[in-house]
Structure 1
Amino acid sequence: MMPLDTSRAPRVAVAGLSARLLAQSAARAGLSVVALDIFGDRDTREHAGLWFDIGKPDGNGLSIDRARLYDALEHAARLPRMLGLIVTSGLEPLANELSRAPGVPRFIGNGAQALAVRDPRRFFALLDEAGIPHPDVRFAPPAAPEGPDGPDGPDEPEGWLVKRPDGCGGTHVEWAGDVDRIVPRAYFQRLAPGRPMSALFVAAHREAVVIGFAEQLTVAAGRLPFVHAGSLGPALLPADTAARVIAAIEAIVWKTDLTGLNSIDFLLDGEDFSVLEINARPSSTMALYETVWPDAWPRGLIGAHLEACLHGELPPVAHGCAAMTPPPPLFAGQRVVFAPEGFTVSRDFSDACFDDPACHDVPLPGARIEAGMPVCTMTFTAPAFAALRDAMEREHARLLQRIDTLSRS
């Protein structure tokens, strides 16, 4: 835990597997930040007056310890000038509970509203009712009959995914044919064509403003075929397609009363799209839009989240909610770097990353990072998508070389 921030600014608690992005945006909004996550990266602590470790005490896996979480939140709730709690990825299963829990900071975001989009039976029924396209979904394994309300006969598991509705970052998605166990509350979704995309939006009073579109990057990791590895944006969509995605978002928000920052994941196949899921909390893609349009968000997108949740106010129509003519002045990208093999972070490696303006989520010296675990996040800007991709490949290779040179097992 770091020393208490002595400024007189209002405080906000930000929590998730990694709180760096929210802490950075909240600091931009002029807030004093209390961060709760499992990494305690150097730049997270730089932006936060207080940091609490909410990871499992044994360090086993990327998971949050419930007892540590509540202990930290109860401490944060006693701090002066505390506005409330904003959560990001990793706390989706507890959102409704946290929104009702006594003795913790006021929940700023989607509590009960999130149930309508996190419960796959309710969510895909909502999409069907609204005529919003999505890949085929079923709630029994593809190799078994669904029953009178499902398909007429069984399907082979090939070409189907199994998903847990309480997961994040692609760690909740596996090939159905590879799963040899019962996954509680899981559902099955047919693999569909298209590029993985997302749209970030702000909602209040059953209305929504779309901030922009982004292309999502994924990598395969063992049994997990689509682990989140970054994003590029703002992405340019055909005007008609953008309008239909926006209409789908507006229909979902009208039916669910989502509030604040949210994102929708979808597949883009030519000019067609199909919805995958809603993330009913701030998304990592907010960093793209804060980078590309800094003057539009002088108080960060967390500022827009607070205005929507606490005062019901939406930002003006954003730059990214149509085909964007003229195009944005530059494009931004972020890419998660995963460890090719296990290593212990050296002081030289941590310092080199901390001094590198393209490097974020910088691990502390002495941290142990196992093979396949995230090391840090690289960010980039370029005048065109092609140049952005080239820069990302170069910087990714440079970071891997830095790992090899400055930190060894």
Structure 2
Amino acid sequence: MIEPVPTKGDLLIATFSARSLAASARAAGYRPLVADLFADNDLRDLVADFRTVDGDFVSGFDGAALLSALESLAAGRDLVGIVCGPGFEDRPELLDAIAERWRLLGNTGETVRRLKDPMGFAGLCRELGIRHPETRMERPASDEDGWLSKRAGAAGGLHIGPLAERAPSPDRYYQRVVGGDRRSVLFLASGGKAEILGLSEQWPSPSPTEPYRYGGACGPVTVADGHAEGMRRAVEAIAAAIPALVGLGSADFLLADGEDPVLLEINPRSGASMDVFERPGHPLLRLHIDACEGRLPGPAGALPKEPVRAAGFAYLGVETVTVGAVDWPDFVSDRPMPGTVIRFGEPLCTLKADGPDADTAIALFAARLSAMKSMIEGSFA
């Protein structure tokens, strides 16, 4: 492990895959102490210490194992606090338990409950005049078309599917299909206010059973002025209605010509767009912690608009591979350790591609994705 040069102290990080958060924390002057599911090769070069926690993307963390790992990492440390990324949307009780032990730099379990309760969020959007897909908890009749089944609190699109392909369960809800282009807003919130940091476009990477699986994102991008204004108003209205909303977050929208944006969800934490918007000299974790302490950057904190970056996941397309020694290119992150066994449909690594515009960056990303999958699946399958 390469020991970071600390200037601001020790920072706990808990999330499914922590490399982007750890890199941003280190760039912001903190010493990262990480608990995640993978402990990928490049993560180990960023952290002061780490623990690998049992769990997976679908079922989440083993809560007891996570708390034990964090306790071990925190022992004897003078902590600044803890930052939690993806992995808690359906486990707000874990956030509650974490907040009882350490200073939580981010959203509380109660804030996550409010934003991830399907009917509560639908009602809030209705009260604020924000377009949101028709939502219900009761499964529509089997002969009704145009509905999706989703799991409350889940992320990454793995849980979303057509009505006929998802079995009923108490944690599932149903949304009317809405057309439009997928765009996401990265924002900072504090004290009932929100500031937009950038917009990205997103795309899926479908599998035979997961048609909405997250593939990647590209940004910063621009949208029509009317859509940009509508997205800004929606995010600001949510922040004002839930003044406890704090730090980095994202808002996912669908945009269609001549119509107001449709807000799909608010993610009250950092996410995959960190790889899109993180730039040298502008660590997003610094902005996040400032916001948690009541400071929003204003115009002076604007992120660089160039280059445009595409970033996303490579999913394994063969039955299984045991990763060997690989001379990974610089554009690959989350590199699995030699000996790691990866199974069909699991994420293999993260790839990035820069360009002067979104089309160029996405085309380069697609070419790199194809080359990396062919190399790994051909060499180790």
Query: Aligned ranges for residues 2-401 of structure 1 at < 5 Å?
Result: 7=6, 9-56=8-55, 63-101=60-98, 104-111=101-108, 112-143=110-141, 156-180=143-167, 182-257=168-243, 258-272=245-259, 273-291=261-279, 294-295=280-281, 297=282, 300-309=283-292, 311-317=293-299, 319=302, 328-341=305-318, 342-347=320-325, 349=326, 352-353=327-328, 356-401=329-374
Instruction: Tell whether the 8 Å contact from 2:50 to 2:73 is kept in structure 1 after alignment.
Output: no
3-state DSSP class of the match of 2:262? strand
Question: Structure 1 residues 259 and 102, CA, compared in 2 at 3 Å: closer, same or farther?
Answer: closer
| CA shift digits 1:344-378 (9 cap, x unpaired) | 0001x2xx12xx11000100000000111110010
Give the deviation of 1:9 after TM superposition: 4.3
Q: 1:271 to 1:19 in 2, by over 3 A?
A: farther
* Shift in Å, 1:266: 1.0
- 8 Å CA contact 2:321–2:377 kept in 1: the answer is no
Contact 1:41/1:364 (CA < 8 Å) preserved in 2? yes
- Give unpaired runs (5+ residues) of structure 2: none
Normalised to the residue count of structure 2, the TM-score between the two structures is 0.92
- Is the 1:77–1:105 contact (alpha carbons within 8 Å) kept by the matching residues of 2? no
Aligned pairs, number: 376
Name the CA distance, whole Å, in 2 between partners of 1:97 and 1:115: 12
1:208-253 superposed Cα distances (whole Å, 9 cap, x missing partner): 1010111112122232220111101111111221111101100000
Amino acid corresponding to residue 83 of structure 2 in structure 1: I
Give the aligned partner of residue 151 of structure 1.
none
Distance in 2 of aligned mates of 1:362 and 1:80:
28
Give the SS at the match of 2:337: coil
Q: TM-score, normalised by structure 1?
A: 0.86
Q: Secondary structure at the match of 2:82?
A: strand
Q: 1:25 to 1:7 in 2, by over 3 A?
A: closer
Question: Structure 1 residues 233-242 or 156-165, which shifts more?
Answer: 156-165
Q: Are residues 319 and 32 of structure 1, via their aligned partners in 2, closer, same or farther at CA, if it must alter by over 3 Å?
A: closer
Structure 2 letter corresponding to 1:288: V
TM-superposed CA distance for 1:166, in Å, is 1.6
> 1:156 deviation in Å?
3.1
Task: For residue 101 of structure 1, report the CA deviation from its aligned partner.
Answer: 4.4
Cα distance in structure 1, aligned partners of 2:58 and 2:242: 33
- The 1:245/1:103 distance shift into structure 2, 3 A limit, reads closer
Equivalent position SS for 1:220: coil
Equivalent pairs: percent with the same residue? 29
Q: Distance in 1 between matches of 2:139 and 2:343?
A: 33
Cα RMSD for the two superposed structures: 2.2
For residues 243 and 17 of structure 1, what CA distance do their matches in structure 2 show?
Answer: 33
Instruction: Determine the C-alpha separation between the residues in 1 that align with 2:296 and 2:255.
Output: 27
Aligned AA for 1:232? C
Aligned partners of 2:97 and 2:341: how far apart in 1? 36
Q: Structure 1 pair 95/106, CA: closer, same or farther in 2 (3 Å)?
A: farther
| Amino acid in structure 1 at the alignment position of 2:288 | H
Q: Which runs of 4+ in 1 moved over 6 A?
A: 2-6, 59-62
Using the alignment, how far apart are the partners of 1:319 and 1:60 within structure 2? 32
1:102 to partner: Cα distance? 6.7
Cα gap change, 1:277/1:392 in structure 2, threshold over 3 Å: closer, same or farther?
same
For residue 197 of structure 1, report the CA deviation from its aligned partner: 1.4
Aligned mates of 1:63, 1:97 — CA distance in 2:
11
How far apart, CA to CA, are the structure 2 residues paired with 1:46 and 1:383? 30
Contact 1:378–1:395 (8 Å) recurs in 2: yes
Partner SS for 1:114: helix
Deviations 1:42-93 (A, max 9, x none): 111111111111124xx89763211210101222333422111111111222
